[in-house]
Amino acid sequence: MDKKRIVIALGHNALGTTLPEQKKAAEGSAKAVAEFISQGYQVVVTHSNGPQVGMIHTAMNEFSQKYPEYTDTPMSVCSAMSQGYIGYDLQSAIRGALINKGIYKTVATVLTQVTVDPYDEAFYRPTKIIGRVLNEKEAQAQEKKGNPVTKVDGGFRRIVATPKPQSIVEIDAIKALLDADQVVIACGGGGIPVLMQDHLLKGASAVIEKDTAAGVLADQVDADMLIILTGTNKVCLNFGTPEEKPLDFISVADAKRYLEEGQFEEGTMKPKIEAAVSYIGDSAIRKTLIAKLDPEKPLIAGRDGTMIAK
């Protein structure tokens, strides 16, 4: 009998911010991942990278300020660096959690590129704030390089586009590892955004929404379920109001209606619901579970979180 395949998307709460926080958080997240593997699932793990890629971007640009002979580090390179060091902590922690359960599997991080459309409207309306606070002179220098900035408290910060992911360049490698029943970490931080130019790939000055990329990943590996682990127990209607209503189940049709009504906030729950709807499509088999990460308590679909299905 073929094993069921799932994609687990880890949010910020699952990774922490600083290096010590990340190492400790990764160990907790690894327990949850190992529990699914012990139940016989083939698992692909993807993850956020917001604080980490911001830290890398800031550090590398500070370095270039001190040593002018070094240029600013492109966002695509910062994304690749974040995938590497987050993947290192996760694969080490998952390997250890599996060994504690008597399971011996290779855990591999795939440095993952994701193509985006060069004509995506997001490139004309960048909104994602990154990097440190700049003074006016530094902001002007960034704009001369073609890097847009926005005014914030204390100065200016760079903003980049958040285009929709198109396809995963290394998808065949990810599938091959899964077919060999190995554990894969891929599409970290939404993947490294790249533009296809003839037969070559060029890094894009952008970031990809991690939940949207998780949906594409789940679709392209033909996963049975997408599990999005976040900081809230359930998806709620009228979140943060006296009329707040937690939901155990949402049909795809209702999810689309709630999106149209503006029930979910940009940058938090909205991209998770959009990813679920896109991934499930018309399938009567695919499901998405949005739930809170609790390393000490195995998730039981239907009792924990919010299930989305056709």
Q: What is the pLDDT of residues 209-224, one digit of tens each?
A: 999 999 999 999 999 9
How many structural domains are present in the chain? 1
pLDDT reported for residue 54: 81
Q: Mean pLDDT score of the chain, rounded to an integer?
A: 89
Task: Return the half-sphere exposure (C-beta side, CA atoms, 13 A cut-off) of residue 104.
Answer: 0
Predicted local confidence at residue 281, as pLDDT:
93
Flag whether 288 is in a domain. no
Residue 104 covered by a domain = yes
Could you tell me if residue 171 is inside a domain?
Answer: yes
Model confidence at 302, in pLDDT bands (50, 70, 90)? very low
* CATH number of the domain within which 84 lies: 3.40.1160.10
> Hey, what are 218's tokens?
């789940």
Radius of gyration of the chain (CA): 20
- pLDDT exceeds cutoff 90 at 298: no
Tell me whether residue 114 is in a domain: yes
Cβ atoms 25, 16 nearer than 8 A: yes
Domain that holds residue 69: 3-125+160-228
For 182, the 3-state DSSP assignment is coil
Provide the token pair at 295: 């390393």
25-45: average pLDDT: 92
Tell me how long the chain is. 310
**Residue 188 maps to a domain:** yes
The verdict on residue 32 lying in a domain is yes
The partner residues of 142 in beta bridges, in order of sequence, read none
Task: Quote the longest CA-to-CA distance of the chain.
Answer: 63
Say if 76 falls within a structural domain: yes
| pLDDT at site 96 | 96
Q: Is residue 130 part of a domain?
A: no
CA distance 115 to 19: 29
The pLDDT tens digits of the residues spanning 222-272 come to: 999 999 998 888 999 988 888 889 999 999 999 999 999 989 888 789 999
What sections of the chain are H helices per DSSP?
Answer: 19-38, 50-66, 75-100, 136-144, 171-179, 210-220, 252-261, 270-280
Average pLDDT for residues 165-179, to the nearest whole number? 96
